[in-house]
Amino acid sequence: MRELWRKMRRTGRVAESAPPKPAAGRPAGAAELGGSVQLRHVNAGSCNGCEVEIASAFGPVYDAQRYGVRLEASPRHADALVVTGPVTHNMAEPLRRTHQAMPEPRLVVAVGDCARNCGVFAGAYGVAGAVADILPVDVEIAGCPPRPEDIVEGLRKLTGR
Amino acid sequence: MNTAATALCVSAAVGALSAALALVVPRSLRPGIAGGGTAVVGVAAVIAGVAALAGQTFSVTWESVLPLSGVSFALDPLGGLFLAVTGAVAVAAGIYSVGYTRGTLDGRVVQAALPLFVVAMLLVPSAAGVGSFLLCWELMALTSLLLVLAEHRRRPEVASAARWYAVMTHMGFVAILIGLLVFAAAAGGDSFTELRAHELSPALGGLVFVLTLTGFASKAGIVPLHAWLPRAHPEAPSHVSALMSASMVNLGVYGLVRVGFDLLGGGPAWWWLLVLALGALSAVYGILQAAMDADLKRLLGNSTSENMGLVLIGVGAAGLFASAGQLGLTGLALAAALLHVLNHAAFKTLLFLAAGSVLHATGTRDLDALGGLRTAMPATTVFFGVGALAASALPPGTAFVSEWLLLQALIHGLPTSGVATAIAMPLAVAAVALTAGLAVATFVKGFGVGFLARPRSDAAANASESPLSMQAAMGLAGVACVVLALLPAIVLPAIGAASTYGDPSASGAVTMQLTAVAGSLSPLLIALALVVGAVAVLGVLRMVVTHRVRRTARLWDCGAGPLSPRMEYTATSFAEPLQRVFDNVVRPETDIDISHYEETSYLVQAVEYRRRVPDRIERRLYGPVLAAARGWGEAGRRLATGSVHRYLGYGFYTLCAALVLLVIAW
């Protein structure tokens, strides 16, 4: 325990200073959430590259949580759905159900090129389509995988902070 | 003859008659005659008991019936209370058995033994002499043994359970026999009046008390003499389980109170400290075992051990206060104990009958294979729910009232003199509190896993509601539970009369006001407040919610598809956190067997996981005794080889030795 305290004291603050607020691209309905947005993440068929970057975005360096977003364990508590990967046939129905399970108003964020337009998997036999083919997408974050800074920027469009 | 005597005679006569009739009538009529007869016996016994509690006592002696001692019966308020409790349980069990035993358990002996068992239990608290008491006690043991054995052809466990029961109940009987005979020999008479008048020396009194306590504690299922109880109670037919668990074990308490308080006239503090310690141990250990059990009836059996432990805490505290001269507190503690006997009888009857109804409909007692009975068996579910609430010592429940009284007695006993009391009382309070908490967890498990959620097996899915007679019997017990929970003040005067130390309560019909200590309780008002609170919360929610748009959504199942019963909480998984907390006490055993494919040891073919929670006290205490007995048997077998020549040789040499001895001695 004492070792932990010492380490915390020695390390200090590692978060990077906040970049300027994204100027445009705030989706309709995001203002209703009042700057606090709970997220539910669904991996619809991703290679896990985007997951690693999301984890990094919520880590101590990029610290997405200071802008008012939080990852949740249940869609029942979530305001926005974060989807990664091209939507595979197996995950299409669970993705729809997860979206239905969320209370309204609800937003959808497509993270990564695969989620936006199927990326390198476009036209593959197991892929049902991009996220936009299944659900209405409000925010898109580009990149393969997207950099944590981009993810944080995209999520800041939801909270407006 | 007064009402009490007439009613008792009627009940004994009806019992004997219905037993005799059950032996001769055809199969289809037997359940009706034996069950109906038992119910009538019960009603008559309740009348006799209430009359005795109201002050009608009687005493009869027939010198010629039994050689040497004769048979004598008498009824006083203490006996009357136990008579009434036993009778009331018998009414419910008798009615229940009509539907329960039809077509499955309608053998001659089983049917005839039921009314006889009830009559024997009624005669025990009416007996007024050592000979008659022991006679009735043994009759009760034998008839109940016959009933426990009822299903021995169907399940091999029944025979083993009955063997345990037979051996332990007779060991207990021997202890009581020796104790009472020593007492009778010292007093120079057989009747309780003579025993009461005789003053024993402290050493002899202690010996008599410890011997009889051993016997009575084994009948009441007190740890460490409880080993038979969680075996025999589940294996007996359910109406018999109810009779055994709700009335037969009470007679252990009756014996203890009768011998300890009445015949021996109280005693030194160490007697009652022993009783208190046994009670506390039994309460905590019993409910801990119950919390681990996945077998519904075994759970109820272990809970009986727990409740008898609570009663013994009350009896022990009463004795302790009496030895310190605190008569007000003595009355309060004894009244709490006797009220708990009454309450336990009510809710345990209900719970065992409801468990029997489940067993009747599904053929299983395993909680891990039940569930989802709420839709198929609504009446049974309601009754079990009422019983579970009554047993879990929460405010609108039955057990709460008596445990509250018990806690009042224990807490107010703190300032009484003596180091022993000052140490014992807080420990007893802690034991009662821990027991109450564990009881809640146990009955939440029993009700939630057994009746709610979805069925875990085909048997539970295809269950159907029990016949009307079984529902009626459960209804009777349920009404008794509710009345005792809401209006305990109406039985308190009777309890006060039975405890011979006066009425503990200056009661209105709604509020109990204790006279010995400052304390009052109004169960009815608590229940009303709970109902009003629940309605108010629901009303406020309604008002808030109606302003919003409501949307129906699919049940959240992780999006993956239908939930299956295999995903549900089971009794075992529900008890797992508790088991982990009490790991050092219960010592669960787990085995994991992993088998691999022949071709390679890297691929796992099957994993088998087994977990058992053995009774640790039983293993430590009974294991060595059983091993020693087996060792003696093995040693004896070397002498008895089966050769006739050898046996003839034994006879010859014994005869010669006897002759030589005679020649030398004379």
- Residues from chain B that touch A99, judged by Cβ atoms under 8 A, are none
- Residues from chain A that touch B559, judged by Cβ atoms under 8 A, are 93-95, 97-98, 101
pLDDT at B504: 61
Tokens of A143: 């990149």
Alpha-carbon gap, residue B176 to B213, rounded angstroms? 8
Measure B557 CA to nearest chain A CA, in Å: 9
Hey, are the CB atoms on B556 and A95 less than 8 Å from each other? Answer: no
Tokens of A98: 């997860």
Q: At B325, is the pLDDT very low, low, confident or very high (cuts 50, 70, 90)?
A: confident
Cβ atoms of B563 and B557 within 8 Å: the answer is yes
- Does B551 contact chain A (CB < 8 Å)? yes
Q: B189 or B536: which carries more pLDDT confidence?
A: B536
Looking at residue B356, its amino acid is: G
Q: B175-186: string of b/e by CB count within 10 Å (b at 16+)? A: bbbbbbbbbbeb
pLDDT at B63: 80
User: CA-CA-CA-CA torsion for A41, A47, A49, A51, nearest 10 degrees?
Assistant: 20
Mean pLDDT value across residues B549-573: 83
Task: Using a pLDDT cut of 90, give the percent of chain B over it.
Answer: 55
- In this complex, which of B553, B558, B560 lies closest to A100 when CB atoms are compared? B553
Measure A98 CA to nearest chain B CA, in Å: 6
Half-sphere exposure of B246 (CA within 13 A, CB side): 33
Alpha-carbon gap, residue B71 to B133, rounded angstroms? 9
Q: At B65, is the pLDDT very low, low, confident or very high (cuts 50, 70, 90)?
A: confident
CA closest to B562 among chain A residues: A94
Mean pLDDT value across residues B73-77: 90
Hey, are the CB atoms on B559 and A101 less than 8 Å from each other? Answer: yes
pLDDT at B393: 84
Centroid of chain to Cα B211 = 21
pLDDT at B510: 56
Per residue in B273-312, pLDDT (tens digit) is 999 999 999 999 999 999 998 899 999 999 999 999 999 9
Hey, are the CB atoms on B559 and A95 less than 8 Å from each other? Answer: yes
Does B507 score more than 60 pLDDT? no
Measure B444 CA to nearest chain A CA, in Å: 27
Does B646 score more than 80 pLDDT? yes
Looking at residue B270, its amino acid is: W
Hey, are the CB atoms on B559 and A74 less than 8 Å from each other? Answer: no
Hey, are the CB atoms on B551 and A104 less than 8 Å from each other? Answer: yes
Stretch (H or E) spanning B273: helix B269-292
Alpha-carbon gap, residue B439 to B443, rounded angstroms? 6
Q: A71 or B543: which carries more pLDDT confidence?
A: A71
Hey, are the CB atoms on B554 and A97 less than 8 Å from each other? Answer: yes
pLDDT at B301: 94
pLDDT at B501: 64
Does B388 score more than 90 pLDDT? yes
Alpha-carbon gap, residue B67 to A58, rounded angstroms? 92
Q: At B182, is the pLDDT very low, low, confident or very high (cuts 50, 70, 90)?
A: very high
- Does A93 contact chain B (CB < 8 Å)? yes
Measure B561 CA to nearest chain A CA, in Å: 8
Backbone CA torsion sign across A97, A103, A104, A108: negative
Centroid of chain to Cα B296 = 15
Backbone CA torsion sign across B176, B80, B113, B61: positive
By CB neighbour count within 10 A (0-12 exposed, 13-18 middle, 19+ buried), where does B358 fall? buried
Q: At B509, is the pLDDT very low, low, confident or very high (cuts 50, 70, 90)?
A: low
Beta bridge partners of residue A129, listed in sequence order = A87
Does B119 score more than 80 pLDDT? yes
> H-type helices in B487-587, by residue range?
492-498, 523-545, 571-581, 583-586
pLDDT at B143: 94
Strands (E), A12-145: 37-43, 69-71, 80-84, 87-88, 107-111, 127-129, 139-141
Alpha-carbon gap, residue B515 to B653, rounded angstroms? 74
Closest CA to B132 of B68, B42, B51, B38: B68
Please provide residue B436's backbone torsions phi and psi, each rounded to the nearest 5 degrees. Answer: -60, -45
Strands of A69-71's sheet, edge to edge? A69-71, A37-43, A80-84, A107-111, A139-141
Does B48 score more than 70 pLDDT? yes
Per residue in A37-48, pLDDT (tens digit) is 999 999 999 999
Q: B371-389: string of b/e by CB count within 10 Å (b at 16+)? A: bbbbebbebbbbbbbbbbb
Q: Which one of A76, A97, A100 would you mutate to disrupt binding with B, by most B Cβ within 10 Å of its Cβ?
A: A97
- Residues from chain B that touch A93, judged by Cβ atoms under 8 A, are 559
Instruction: Note which residues in 22-61 of chain A have CB less than 8 A from chain B.
Output: none
Strand A80-84 to A107-111 pairing: parallel
Hey, are the CB atoms on B554 and A104 less than 8 Å from each other? Answer: no
Does B508 score more than 90 pLDDT? no
Cβ atoms of B120 and B216 within 8 Å: the answer is no
Does B631 score more than 60 pLDDT? yes
Alpha-carbon gap, residue B217 to A68, rounded angstroms? 65
Measure B553 CA to nearest chain A CA, in Å: 6
Hey, are the CB atoms on B556 and A76 less than 8 Å from each other? Answer: yes
Closest CA to B347 of B396, B312, B314, B410: B396
Does B188 score more than 90 pLDDT? no
User: Which range has highest mean pLDDT (A98-107, B63-72, B493-502, B550-559)?
Assistant: A98-107
Full 3-state SS string of A63-91 = CHHHHCEEECCCHHHCCEEEEECCEEHHH
Return the SS3 of A40: strand
Q: Which one of A100, A102, A106 would you mutate to disrupt binding with B, by most B Cβ within 10 Å of its Cβ?
A: A100
Closest CA to B132 of B197, B63, B82: B63
Hey, are the CB atoms on B559 and A94 less than 8 Å from each other? Answer: yes
Hey, are the CB atoms on B554 and A76 less than 8 Å from each other? Answer: no
Alpha-carbon gap, residue A140 to A119, rounded angstroms? 13
What is the pLDDT of chain B when averaged over all its residues? 89
Alpha-carbon gap, residue B76 to B88, rounded angstroms? 18
Does B389 score more than 60 pLDDT? yes
pLDDT at B498: 81
Cβ atoms of B387 and B351 within 8 Å: the answer is yes
What's the first-to-final CA gap in chain B, in angstroms?
A: 59
pLDDT at A145: 93
The pTM assigned to this predicted structure is 0.87
By CB neighbour count within 10 A (0-12 exposed, 13-18 middle, 19+ buried), where does A51 fall? middle
- Residues from chain B that touch A98, judged by Cβ atoms under 8 A, are 559
- Does B560 contact chain A (CB < 8 Å)? yes
Hey, are the CB atoms on B558 and A94 less than 8 Å from each other? Answer: yes
Does B512 score more than 80 pLDDT? no
Full 3-state SS string of B619-642 = HHHHHHHHHHHHHHHHHHHHHCCC
Cβ atoms of B54 and B81 within 8 Å: the answer is no
Pick from B111-115, B219-223, B599-603: least confident:
B599-603
pLDDT at B515: 65
CA closest to A40 among chain B residues: B558
- Residues from chain B that touch A76, judged by Cβ atoms under 8 A, are 556
Closest CA to B526 of B486, B478, B491: B486
Alpha-carbon gap, residue B424 to B320, rounded angstroms? 10
pLDDT at B495: 84
Interface pTM, i.e. ipTM: 0.81
